[in-house]
Structure 1
Amino acid sequence: MEFETAEIDVDQGSDSHIRLSAVPFLFNPGERSLYIGADGSGGAVKHAGWLGLKTEPFNGWYSAHIISVTGNKGTDCVFEVKRNFNTPIQEGEWLWFPAMPQRVETYRG
């Protein structure tokens, strides 16, 4: 299976930033579940998915907060690493981050 490759920017907070080049990546979106509140109102909850980067562990990989992906096939996404229920893990050649895609909008002042 051939994966899209990307330029990866990792923000670790505290002015710490890592850039990786030509990294294969994969994103599996999180599940959605319905809930009904005590007052009878309801809604949907979207859970974090998993962002996989096929790369060696880099300094501070476990501390990633924001990961930007600019793919060679047009993918342009920003992910927030979520640690509510899961933490980043290493599995073989892959680093997996519990992540949620963020929408980036132009500032209108």
Structure 2
Amino acid sequence: MGLATADVEVYSDHETVRLIGAPFTFNPGDRTIYTGVDNTSAVVLRAGWLGLKTEPFKGWQSAHILSVTGSNGDDRVFEVKRNFNNPVQEDDWLWFPAMPQKVEPCRN
């Protein structure tokens, strides 16, 4: 995903914040091969970085879900991962270690 604008809902421990037309970018994480002690292997996808060009807002560092509706109409949901990194501020950008999540409608 390149630089685009989106409406973003940020779900945090404090409150839900809605950003309208915020510039954003997403850089996917690396895939690495993990070999277990029993010599089996699996591909592991690491968290990427999602950047929002916006002022810091209350609760941005405790965000756990980012719901992104892009300017071209696509909807994406990202989970903020804090396994190895934490959200950071760099100049005008807020950066979140994030992984895209697959969302499906509930079927009964």
Summarize deviations over 1:56-105 as a string: whole Å, max 9, x none. Answer: 10111111010000011133110000001000000001000000000001
Deviations, residues 38-70 of structure 1 (Å, cap 9, x unaligned): 212110110000000000101111110100000
- 1:33 paired residue number: 32
Partner residue, 1:105: 104
In the TM superposition, what are the counterparts of 1:57-76 in structure 2 within 5 Å?
57-76=56-75
Unaligned runs of 5+ in 2: none
Q: In 2, distance between residues paired with 1:99 and 1:3?
A: 16
Identity fraction in percent: 59
The 3-state SS of whatever aligns with 2:29 is coil
TM-score (norm 2): 0.93
Query: Number of residues paired by the alignment?
Result: 107
In structure 1, stretches of 5+ residues that fail to align are: none
1:108 Cα deviation (Å)?
Answer: 1.4
TM-score (norm: length of structure 1): 0.92
